[in-house]
Amino acid sequence: MAKRSFRGKSRIFAAAFGAPAAALLGSLALCRALPLAPDVMLFAFFFFGLPLVALAPCAALLAPSCSSAWAGSLLVAVASAALLVLG
Amino acid sequence: MKLSARSYAILWDAHAWVGAIASILIFMMFFLGAFALFAEELAPWQERAFRNPVVGDDAQALVVAQGIVDAEAALQPSWFGLSLPTDEEPWMRLWRVRGDGLAYEFVEPLTGARFDQRSELGDFLNELHFLEPLPHGRTIAGVASLVLLFLAATGLALQFGNIMRELVRFRPFAKQRRVFWSDAHKVIGVVLLPFFLLFGLSGAALGLSGSLSPLLAMALFDGDEEAMARVKEWPAVPGPSGTQAPAPDLREAYEIATARYPEATHRWFFISNLGDENVVVDLPGEMPGRVAPFTNVRLDRGGEIVWARDAGGDNFYAAPAAALFGLHFASWSSLGGKVIWALLALLGAFGILAGNLLWIERRRSREGPFDRFLARLTVGGCAGLAFAVAIIFVANQILPAELPGRSSGEKLALLIAWAGALLYSFLARRPADAAKRLLFAAGALMLLLPLLDAALHARIPFDPRMPWLLATELGLSFFALLLLGAAFAIGRLAGTSPVSASSPHPPQPEPTSVDPKETQCDDPLSPSSSW
């Protein structure tokens, strides 16, 4: 029971913090990686990136398991950070 | 597209919990948004001096303004703003940023007489709408706007197949209150969905653009903030050179801006580096009737245009952003459009409130500490806010115009009234009683305001010869009637509880008229009379 409750809390943390942070980095990385003009890049971030950040918690909540919610968030965050640093 | 039972249950819970937790904050932003729209129009109501229009023209005002900036140049404020008289604000307003922050002052445009004790009622309600009095308030408002987007999206996903039905299904006379709140929440949610999406997106962009700016510059512009400012069509001003110089010629600046954008009205001068050789003057202009009405002309000390911005923006980011923000602030509209926007904002606030009341009704049979806390917090936060807004209007009337710290007194009155209402909502025997009394008090005070003002200023209330005051009086009276109606409705709802907790009849299960899917996530309703 305690393990289940911990998993529930962990998933909520993933939805509240992990997924939005990953979506923020992912949006920035995508805007940066695509061949976009600076004004289109900023437009894409504010008009598509921010809604993505708002919707990211849904992905974490709907993930098959708590670990997959965290794994997905971490994967997106790490890949995006790598793209931003190396790109 | 239909959601699986698991997805439906998860999204339903997420929508309900996130809504319950964020509701008071979002309610506050919507409720105060209705007042924030009229921050400028409230000026004659809140400040007695604005009620007697000062006869004069722009030429005279510009002579006085030139004298002010000439004197101000010696003080070298980092930023200095000045407005010319308008219909609703027939005095000139000065803004000054020095080491100790932003300071306001008003100047009589004929004589140059100044006074600094003034009401900030409209501005304060506008600032509260953006949560600016809180530390990092604007960022919190941005996050709350993202939460609003989340709630709108999850609500849409939950009702995706039923939107047309939810649009028209409202049963105000249903036996169970849960049905009433459920229908109200869904109908308002569906009707106002575009409005919620607009305010969620624009609020997030407005609230977060400042705090995300360094990250955006680093990630998208290789750390070049100036490049990002150019894309946003608000290029940075060069810093001061350290060489003193006289103030720029305001009349010349005004004429150049008017020649550049003859359709726009220019009422503001925003001056950076005043008293320095690198001084620049920005003259924002407003073209009435456009979704994105603002132009800007930037001049150097010699009167050369160093940068100009057409209304509506002219790149792929600036144009839609200007339209989005124009829609947010209703700057596309005259008074009539703002009234419609304000009514939609109040309806949105009611829709959010209905969600909370639905939560409370649904969990009545197994009410826990959080539910009891939420019920009382909803009363203190929402009805208490209406009461606190009524109190700031009363404080504005009662505090003497020349009282030192009058503006702080008004703000304090609002905060104390709100805190008191919250405390009362937690101490009252039943939350419904507290809600009814707070709403009744707020409505009665608002209804009395025009009479109080008339008595204090020896004038006839609702005088059509004073159009700005008449508009405020009509708005306050309409709002008062809404609050009194809400108090009456709550009294009826609380007094006609279907089944009392001590009733010999057992609670009845929810009728089949409620979406059967909802029962996947929650137990059937057990009504009681404690609300």
The predicted-structure confidence for B348-385, as pLDDT tens digits, reads as follows 999 999 999 888 888 877 888 899 999 999 999 999 99
- The residues near A37 (Cβ < 8 Å, ≥ 6 apart) are B316
What pLDDT is attached to residue B465?
87
Nearest to B14 among A42, A61, A84 (CB): A61
Structure tokens at B329: 């602030």
Nearest to B172 by CA among B192, B158, B187: B187
pLDDT above 50 for B518: no
Give me chain B's average pLDDT, please: 87
Interface test with A, best of B231, B232, B324, B328 (most A CBs within 10 A): B231
> For residue B338, which phi and psi values (nearest 5 degrees)?
-65, -35
**Which chain B residues contact residue A46 at CB under 8 A?**
205, 209, 317, 321
Q: What is the pTM of this model?
A: 0.89
The distance of Cα B344 from the centroid of its chain, to the nearest Å, equals 12
Interface test with A, best of B198, B221, B317, B521 (most A CBs within 10 A): B317
**Which chain B residues contact residue A84 at CB under 8 A?**
219
| Cβ-based contacts under 8 A for chains A and B | 78
Per-residue pLDDT tens for B452-484?
Answer: 999 998 889 999 988 888 999 999 999 999 999
Per-residue pLDDT tens for A6-33?
Answer: 668 899 999 999 999 999 999 999 999 9
Q: Are A61 and A11 in contact (CB under 8 A)?
A: yes
Task: Compare all CA atoms of chain B with the CA of A81 and give the residue at the minimum distance.
Answer: B219
Q: pLDDT: is B466 or B137 the higher one? A: B137
Q: Are B297 and B285 in contact (CB under 8 A)?
A: yes
CB contact under 8 A, B219 and A37: no
The span from the first CA to the last CA of chain B, in angstroms, equals 38
DSSP annotation of B331:
T
CB contact under 8 A, A53 and B205: no
Which B positions 66-105 lie with beta carbon below 8 A of chain A? none
Q: Does A57 touch chain B (CB under 8 A)?
A: yes
Which A positions 3-22 lie with beta carbon below 8 A of chain B? 15, 20
Q: Does B193 touch chain A (CB under 8 A)?
A: no
Q: Are B326 and B311 in contact (CB under 8 A)?
A: no
Q: Does A47 touch chain B (CB under 8 A)?
A: yes
Gap from A12 CA to chain B (nearest CA, Å):
10
CB contact under 8 A, B215 and A46: no
Task: Compare all CA atoms of chain B with the CA of A31 and give the residue at the minimum distance.
Answer: B220
CB contact under 8 A, A50 and B317: no
pLDDT band at residue B160 under the 50/70/90 scheme: confident
Which H or E run contains B458? none
CA dist., res. B383 & res. B438, Å (int):
6
What pLDDT is attached to residue B174?
74
CB contact under 8 A, A39 and B153: no
What pLDDT is attached to residue B104?
78
What pLDDT is attached to residue B496?
54
**CA torsion, ordered B312, B314, B317, B321, to nearest 10 deg:** -10
CA dist., res. B196 & res. B208, Å (int):
17
- What is the Cα gyration radius of chain A? 14
pLDDT band at residue A61 under the 50/70/90 scheme: very high
Per-residue pLDDT tens for B240-296?
Answer: 999 999 999 999 999 999 999 999 999 999 999 999 999 999 999 999 888 899 999
CB contact under 8 A, B320 and A37: no
pLDDT above 60 for B415: yes
Per-residue pLDDT tens for B182-228?
Answer: 888 999 999 999 999 999 999 999 999 999 999 999 999 999 999 99
CB contact under 8 A, A39 and B228: no
**Which chain B residues contact residue A62 at CB under 8 A?**
7, 10-11
Gap from B333 CA to chain A (nearest CA, Å):
24
CB contact under 8 A, B220 and A32: yes
CA dist., res. B285 & res. B287, Å (int):
7
**Which chain A residues contact residue B11 at CB under 8 A?**
58, 61-62
Nearest to A50 among B146, B157, B317 (CB): B146
